[in-house]
Amino acid sequence: MPHTPIKDFIAAVERLENYSFVTTVINTQTGWMGTFGNTERMEQILIGPSREEIDATLLVVRQLIQNNDSISMANVADYAKQVLTDSANDTLQQIRDSLNKELDSYPGIGVEGMTMSYRSILNTYIYGEHAHTSAKERQKYLDLQKSPVAELFTHYFYVAVRAIAVYAIYFKRLLSDESSYETV
């Protein structure tokens, strides 16, 4: 196969699969764990990756979700339409639809009446803290960090990144399967 966005996508997802953050959020329990503190009250402890692990992962995740990148899932799906079977293209669309449905869903808790989808939380964390900071997203991020449930929103951020990683891996597997391609 000549060099294509599909090859670049597969290489990027293979890198992503090997990051410890992705391994952690896919294979290990992440989330909330209760523990009793000195005051005998229940405290919440967030189990999660280091900042370095998150930043490394987000470099690839941003490529996969930003449509101005040649290896975004949307652009790769458009390119793949030319070379994949109808069945494989249908499956790619189902994967994209499932990911979008998950990202556009809402976790069960919000802040001060403000409900945020997983996609919105993801964007707030990426553009408010981790990369290309925008003033609007930065303020939303800072407001979330002042919330008594800030760690829960960090968990929701991990959930969104996990969803992207998992669906990108499904995408990669389909694109790596030779039977997905039209024969000439």
75-117 pLDDT, tens digit each: 999 999 999 999 999 999 999 999 999 999 998 776 666 688 9
CA 10 to the chain's CA centroid:
16
Cα 135-141-145 angle, rounded to 5 deg: 140
Q: Where does the pLDDT of residue 28 fall: very low under 50, low under 70, confident under 90, or very high at 90 and above?
A: low
Per-domain boundaries in the chain? 5-179
**What pLDDT score does 42 carry?**
37
> Of 72, 68, 61, whose CA–CA distance to 19 is shortest?
61
**What pLDDT score does 178 carry?**
93
CB 12 within 8 A of CB 62: no
Tell me 180's DSSP state.
Answer: G
Per-residue pLDDT of 36-74, as tens digits, reads 344 433 344 455 667 788 888 999 999 999 999 999 999
| Sequence letter at residue 136 | K
Cα 17-156-143 angle, rounded to 5 deg: 130
Distance CA 158, CA 121 (A): 10
